[in-house]
């Protein structure tokens, strides 16, 4: 697998992965501004033409707000999530980011374990943030 910057050609496969990853999936159309925006930073892990994983953030001042992180279902639990997150952290550092933040469902133990192992620290709760009524944990990681 290699990582590429986000391109239009990736969007169809990403939109197919979204419903198996998120309760409020993004559509292909919702990703279009992400390809075009100067403040959106994405990496897509591909094996040939197959999208394996993708993730990105919006840079707001010196902060990176992570938007999506997803690994295609059949590839989960094989270390791709870790590769992706370290790629995003490097991308953030290279672009002058000093801290990263994200929301994760209290019920998403796999993702919470991943983020905690990379030094993300819980810093607050957004009550009933998700469509299923689950609370979101807000996490931050300092990069400096
Ligand atoms: C969360 C997600 C990105 C992790 O990617 P992944 O490739 O499955 O994860 P990895 O194989 O790299 O494992 C990374 C860490 O996650 C945790 N993890 C992985 N599988 C796990 C499981 N079955 N149960 C609990 N924790 C698990 C572990 O901490 C693991 O590190 P370790 O192997 O050193 O113990 C992926 O599962 C996914 O796409 N899930 C659906 C979308 C999602 O929830 N995104 C995050 C929203 S905030």
Q: Per residue in 47-56, pLDDT tens?
A: 999 999 999 9
CA atoms of 10 and 134, how far apart (whole Å): 30
Taking CB atoms and a 6 Å cutoff, what residues make up the pocket around ligand 1?
A: 21, 69-71, 76-82, 102, 104, 108-111, 113-114, 117
Query: What is the CA(29)–ligand 1 centre distance, in A?
Result: 27
- State how beta strands 63-71 and 99-105 pair: parallel
**Position in ligand 1 atom list of the atom nearest CA 22:** 42
Q: Per residue in 132-143, pLDDT tens?
A: 899 999 999 999
- State how beta strands 50-60 and 40-47 pair: antiparallel
Can you identify the CATH homologous superfamily of domain 2-142? Gcn5-related N-acetyltransferase (GNAT) (3.40.630.30)
Residue ranges per domain, the chain? 2-142
Provide the pLDDT for residue 143.
Answer: 98
Judge if pTM exceeds 0.85: yes
Q: Per residue in 104-122, pLDDT tens?
A: 999 999 999 999 999 999 9
Provide the pLDDT for residue 34.
Answer: 98
Tell me the CA distances in angstroms from 79 to 13, 41, 114, one per residue in order: 20, 22, 10
Pocket test for ligand 1, best of 21, 110, 120 (most atoms within 8 A of CB): 110
């Amino acid at each position: 697998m290699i990582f590429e910057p986000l391109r239009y050609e990736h969007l169809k496969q990403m939109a197919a992965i979204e419903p198996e990853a998120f309760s409020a999936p993004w559509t292909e159309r919702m990703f279009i501004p992400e390809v075009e925006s100067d403040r959106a930073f994405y990496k897509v892990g591909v094996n040939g033409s197959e999208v394996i994983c993708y993730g990105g953030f919006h840079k707001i001042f010196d902060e990176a707000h992570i938007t999506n992180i997803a690994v295609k279902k059949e590839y989960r639990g094989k270390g791709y999530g870790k590769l992706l997150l370290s790629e995003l952290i490097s991308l953030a550092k290279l672009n002058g980011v000093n801290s990263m933040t994200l929301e994760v469902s209290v019920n998403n133990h796999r993702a919470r374990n991943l983020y905690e192992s990379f030094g993300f620290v819980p810093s607050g709760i957004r009550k009933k943030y998700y469509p299923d009524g689950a609370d979101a944990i807000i996490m931050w990681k300092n990069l400096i």
